[in-house]
Chain A
Amino acid sequence: MVHLDYKELLAAKALTALDAEDAHALDTHLESCGDCRSELSAWEETASFIALEAKPIEPSAQLRGLVLKSVRAEGRSQELARDFVEPGAESRAGQFKSRVLPFEKPHRGVWTSLKSFGAIAAALVIGALIISLLVFWQRERAAQQELARLSSEMQRAKAQLDYERAVVELLTSPDAHMAKLAGTKDAPGAHAMLAYDKNGHAMLMARGLPAVPKGMGYQLWYIKDNKKMPGKVFRPDAAGNGILEDQIPAVARDAAVFAITLEPESGVQAPTGSIYLVSAT
């Protein structure tokens, strides 16, 4: 529609007789057309005169009082609302009880109710989604922790398997050397076996060792021509058993004596503690 088309609708608009579609189109046009707004005011003036065709009637005498009473109630309601923001309102708080008016309950149409139900339903759906996400997140987190635990366990099992395989290979090697170590007076029930190959790769398997104090461990020594060469340190388990993998110095691989002493856990360069295990010379 063009401007003139809208002008054709103004008289009917003043009578509120336009159908919804035309009324909507005209309302949109009126928002931006001062000329039509002005003309509509004139048409409304004309339409208002039709009211005078109705016969004047006197309302009941009580109505005037009711009107003024409702206006006073409205005025008090507004005054009460102002009291909540005006300075000093607190000092009049004692008057509030007697001046409180019941609020008019808002009319809730079908659409309003449907919108409310829709909002509630949407909130429930969002809540359910959040809960589902939390549950999913927790399950995924638990699964990841389980996966990490299994992975760690598998690595330990693999390391153990590799170690045992190395021990077997060493013991079954055709050039393997074996040296038995016996317990001294400090560890009479202990004994050990040291296996090593021609490359010096050695495995010590000890049994029956006494428990060691905190910060201490058993250190392996390679002794040749009264020269004591330090090996690695290990701590036995609760049963007194321990395994140590080490590399024997080349000079100590033939006709050497092997011994175990109690030393600081970090190891020392010369033995300081008692001998617990020693091989035959």
Chain B
Amino acid sequence: MPPQEQGSDVELLHAVARGDEGALARLYDQYRVILFGLLVRILNSREEAEDVLQEVFLQVWKRAKDFDQLRGRPFTWLVTLARSRAIDRIRQLGARQRLADSAAQNASGEASDAVTDTLHSEQREIVARALAALPEEQRHTLNLAYFEGLTQSEIAQKLGTPLGTVKTRMRSGMIKLREVLGEETKSLLGPTSL
């Protein structure tokens, strides 16, 4: 997102930290679609995802004062918070027994076109291109870690691949992702980008 919007998000978080409910509502309006999509992708359940999204914004309300713009952007902070809650929920629900809610998968395609704005679409395209540039095994390793919350050992076990290989793929994938995203996101994220 552009520096102007990012600055706006920082101000919103500061306002939330001061107890401004309106600022929280604006943050919700701005990030609900991205975060809900992420949560549905991780949890495979709209119901669980809505529950967790509610928890996430309650956490934002409580912890906005902890946000430090020198350590990261509002987008990163919010996404990290949402993913962390979702991974916790997966682990609560049982060892990798993700809800086999195929309806949720179908639902994921229902509203996306209608709700994504131009900016987020552009970001998604950049990320999609960056991930597409990765070798399949590296992309798959990153997806297992990011969306399923698996550790390196769990990924190695799931894929039947040596742990060292998984570590190498993960690190190589992240390095390449950073390289590809680095140039393209500078224009979107501003001077303090990657």
Quick check: is A4 within 8 A (CB to CB) of the other chain? no
Q: Assess whether A49 is in contact with B33, with CB atoms less than 8 Å apart.
A: no
- A15 and B58 contact, CB distance less than 8 A: no
B58 touches A45 (CB 8 A): no
Q: Does A67 contact B (CB under 8 A)?
A: yes
Among A19, A41, A54, A64, the one with the most B-chain Cβ atoms within 10 Å of its Cβ is A54
Within 8 A of A (CB), among B89-145: 107-112, 114-116, 120, 123-124, 126-128, 130-131, 142-143, 145
User: In the complex, which residues 53-93 of chain B have their Cβ closer than 8 Å to any Cβ of chain A?
Assistant: 53-54, 57-58, 61-62, 71-73, 75-76, 79-80, 82-84, 87
Known pairs A45-B194, A53-B128, A66-B54; A71 contacts B61 (CB<8 A): yes
Please give the number of chain A residues whose Cβ is less than 8 angstroms from any Cβ of chain B in the complex.
Answer: 40
Inter-chain CA distance A51–B130, complex, in Å, is: 13
How would you classify the secondary structure of chain B's contact residues: helix, strand, loop or mixed? Answer: helix
In the complex, the answer to whether B147 meets A54 with C-beta atoms within 8 Å is yes
Q: Does B159 contact A (CB under 8 A)?
A: no
Which residues in chain B, 17-38, are within 8 Å of chain A measured between CB atoms?
19, 21, 24-25, 28-29, 32-34, 36-38
If the complex has contacts A56-B115, A67-B54, are A49 and B177 also in contact, measured as CB distance less than 8 A? yes
The total of interchain contacts (Cβ-Cβ below 8 angstroms) comes to 175
Contact B128–A59 (Cβ < 8 Å): no
Chain A residue nearest in CB terms to B153:
A19
Contact-residue bracket for chain B: 35 or more
Q: Is A266 an interface residue (CB 8 A)?
A: no
Contacting pair B24 A17 (CB below 8 A): no
A46 within 8 A of B: yes
When the two chains form the complex, which single residue of B19, B21, B61, B127 contacts A50, counting CB atoms closer than 8 Å? B127
Q: Tell whether, in the assembled complex, residue B112 and residue A71 are in contact, meaning their CB atoms are under 8 Å apart.
A: no
Would you call A60 and B61 a contact (CB within 8 A)?
A: no
Q: In whole angstroms, what is the CA distance A187 to B120 when docked?
A: 131
The residue of chain B having its C-beta at the shortest distance from the C-beta of A49 within the complex is B127
Given A12-B170, A44-B72; A64-B58 close (CB under 8 Å): no
Interface string of A25-68 (1 = CB under 8 A from B): 00000000000000001111111111111111111100110111
B34 and A47 contacting across the interface, CB-CB below 8 Å: no
Q: In residues 29-52 of chain B, which contact A (Cβ within 8 Å)?
A: 29, 32-34, 36-38, 40-42, 46, 49-50
Task: Determine the chain B residues whose CB is within 8 A of the CB of A64 once the complex forms.
Answer: 25, 28-29, 32
Q: If A15-B174, A57-B112 touch, does A71 touch B21 (CB 8 Å cutoff)?
A: yes
| CB pair A57 B111 closer than 8 Å | yes
Once the chains bind, are B80 and A44 in contact (CB under 8 Å)? yes
User: How far does the Cβ of A67 sit from chain B's closest Cβ, in whole Å?
Assistant: 5
CB of A18 within 8 Å of the partner chain = yes
Q: Which residues of B contact A225 (CB under 8 A)?
A: none
Q: What is the interface of chain B, defined by CB distance below 8 A to chain A? A: 19, 21, 24-25, 28-29, 32-34, 36-38, 40-42, 46, 49-50, 53-54, 57-58, 61-62, 71-73, 75-76, 79-80, 82-84, 87, 107-112, 114-116, 120, 123-124, 126-128, 130-131, 142-143, 145-147, 149-153, 155, 167, 170-171, 174-175, 177-178, 181, 185, 193-194
24 A/B residue pairs, CB under 8 Å, sorted by A: A11-B171, A12-B152, A12-B170, A15-B146, A16-B84, A16-B145, A16-B149, A44-B80, A46-B181, A47-B146, A47-B174, A48-B75, A49-B185, A52-B126, A52-B128, A56-B111, A56-B116, A57-B40, A58-B111, A59-B36, A68-B24, A68-B25, A68-B28, A74-B58
18 new A-B contacts at CB < 8 Å, known A11-B174, A63-B53: A12-B174, A15-B146, A43-B174, A43-B178, A44-B80, A46-B174, A46-B178, A47-B146, A49-B185, A51-B146, A53-B127, A53-B143, A55-B112, A58-B36, A64-B25, A64-B28, A67-B28, A75-B61
List of 7 A-B pairs having minimum Cβ-Cβ separation, nearest first: A54-B41, A58-B111, A11-B174, A17-B145, A15-B145, A56-B33, A48-B76
